[in-house]
Amino acid sequence: MSEKIIQNEPVIIIKNLYKSFGTLDVLKGVDLTINKGENVAILGKSGTGKSVLIKILVGLLKPDKGSVIVLDQNIAKLNEKELNALRIQVGFSFQNSALYDSMSIRQNMEFPLIMNNKNLSKTEVAKAVHEVLEAVGLKDKMNEMPGDLSGGQRKRIGIARTLILRPKIMLYDEPTAGLDPITCTEINNLINQVQETYNTTSIIITHDLSCARETGDRVAMLLDGKFAKIGSFDEVFKTDNEQIQNFYKYNFIQ
């Protein structure tokens, strides 16, 4: 990765965050601060609450305890209008892309843009769609339906759809899950390219070590509902913690 400047300006501050589902405690006191322009990869086994954490960041889930401050706004204190204004600034790329099946790729791109900017002209919308599809390298797929695309292409389109609203923060939920190694590398490069081009701050939720290493300026290891270690990739995995070592070994074998 090329050298980049990370400003010492926190855009996401998570403090003492707790979340349970029934009797299952998922997050048990999570603390994390992310600075502007930084890519943070959150690693952890399936079911450790990684996706829950980013869903709390956009208000899809409510925490039981603790505070989440995104772009200087406390999520818990926002009304619906304020939350929507914040959501426009936070792009969320879903694990299964969540493309609208009944719409073409072009309509998938246009939909969030038109719904949030009713005054845009047709030319402006077409230009924005053209630009984001070019950024993800899928300009030629504009008139196809989501069902006609491969898994990797769907992920790219999912990322393009979030980029069309020009977010300041990007949240990627398992961006490389279910993809072959070559496509994984392409997606990792795309995440870095998005950060450079659009100057976003990103959280990458993954259980894929190569994704965390290639995309994360910092890596945070989520174990038993808390961050066991936060630091550079090498710092996190130079440890005596057996669970972290096992996680590394398992990924290596894979």
User: Cα separation of 24 and 44, whole Å?
Assistant: 17
Shortest Å distance, C-beta 89 to another protein: 9
Smaller CB separation from another protein, 80 or 242: 80
Phi–psi pair at 94, nearest 5 degrees: -80, 155
Closest to another protein by CB, 34 vs 164, is 164
**What minimum distance in Å lies between the beta carbon of 112 and another protein?**
4
- State the burial class of residue 140 (Cβ atoms within 10 Å of its Cβ: 0-12, 13-18, 19+): exposed
Closer residue to another protein (CB): 98 or 230: 98
Nearest approach in angstroms of CB 83 to another protein is 8
Binding site for another protein (CB under 8 A): 55, 58, 60, 84-85, 87-88, 90, 92, 94-96, 98-102, 111-112, 115-116, 118, 161-162, 165
Nearer to another protein, 152 or 167 (CB): 167
Q: Output the six-digit token pair for 115.
A: 């719904």
Cα–Cα distance, 228 to 254 (Å, whole number): 23
Least separation in angstroms between CB 143 and another protein? 19
Contact 200, 168 (CB under 8 A): yes
Range list of β-strands (E), 44-114:
65-70, 73-74, 90-93
